[in-house]
């Protein structure tokens, strides 16, 4: 008889029909090679079954609900992108304010007043850039 090969794994798993089991058992009685293979397969099976079972992270139970809410309305920009966009707007606003005021400050007549104004605003924006970004985030 040829070696039963993959029937050996199925034997370990109780996945053989009674007829198959009888045939394999009879073969094993007379085949040392297959008995060795059965022992090897059993060792691999035990190693796999002995792998530690990890706990499900609790956060995963809540995640799909959150994701569903975010995608419930397709026209709504996902929170993650929206926040990034908010920061970009904040940065752009700060830059426009600073550049705009400095450029305008180069004008001739009201130069003195605008220069002062520009200095104050630019200083505020540059020294405390967090002010704009924090405000933008909160405004969301």
Partner 1 sequence: MPDDGPEIPDWEDVARRYGRKIYNFAYRLTGNPHDAHDLAQDVLLRVRRGLQSYTPGSFEGWLWRITRNAFLDGVRKKKRRPTVPLPEGDHVDHGAAPPPEEVLAAVRLGEDVQKALLDLPYDFREAVVMCDVVGLTYEEIAEAIDVPIGTVRSRIHRGRKLLRERLG
List of residues contacting partner 1 (CB under 8 A): 5-10, 13, 15, 37, 40-41, 43-45, 47-57, 59-61, 63-65, 67-68, 80
Structure letter (DSSP) for residue 35: H
**Under the phi-then-psi rule, with left for phi > 0, alpha for psi from -120 to 50, and beta for the rest, what region is 14?**
left
Measured from the CB atom, the residue of 87 and 131 that comes closer to partner 1 is: 87
Residue 61 CB, nearest approach to partner 1 (Å) = 5
- Minimum Å distance from CB 132 to partner 1? 19
Provide the token pair at 68.
């569903």
The nearest distance, CB 39 to partner 1, in angstroms, is 9
Q: How far is the CB of 6 from partner 1 (least distance, A)?
A: 4
Q: What is the CB neighbour count within 10 angstroms for residue 118?
A: 20
CB nearer to partner 1: give 9 or 104.
9
Which residue in 81, 59, 68, 78 sits closest to 89, CA to CA?
81
Q: Residue 60 or residue 112: which is nearer to partner 1 going by CB?
A: 60
Choice between 71 and 116, CB closer to partner 1: 71
- Going by C-alpha positions, the residue among 41, 49, 31, 32 that lies closest to residue 11 is 41
Helix 79-104, helix 129-139: angle, nearest 10: 140
């Amino acid at each position: 008889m040829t070696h039963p090969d993959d029937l050996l794994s199925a034997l370990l798993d109780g996945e053989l029909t009674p007829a198959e089991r009888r045939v394999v058992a009879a073969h094993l009685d007379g085949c040392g090679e297959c008995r060795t293979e059965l022992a090897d397969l059993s060792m691999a099976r035990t190693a796999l079954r002995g792998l530690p079972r990890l706990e499900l992270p609790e956060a995963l139970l809540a995640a799909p609900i959150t994701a569903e809410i975010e995608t419930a309305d397709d026209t709504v920009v996902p929170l993650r992108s929206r926040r990034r966009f908010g920061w970009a707007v904040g940065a752009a606003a700060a830059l426009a304010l600073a550049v705009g005021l400095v450029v305008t400050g180069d004008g001739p007549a009201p130069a003195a007043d605008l220069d002062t104004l520009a200095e104050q605003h630019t200083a505020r924006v540059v020294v405390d850039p967090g002010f704009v970004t924090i405000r933008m985030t909160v405004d969301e």
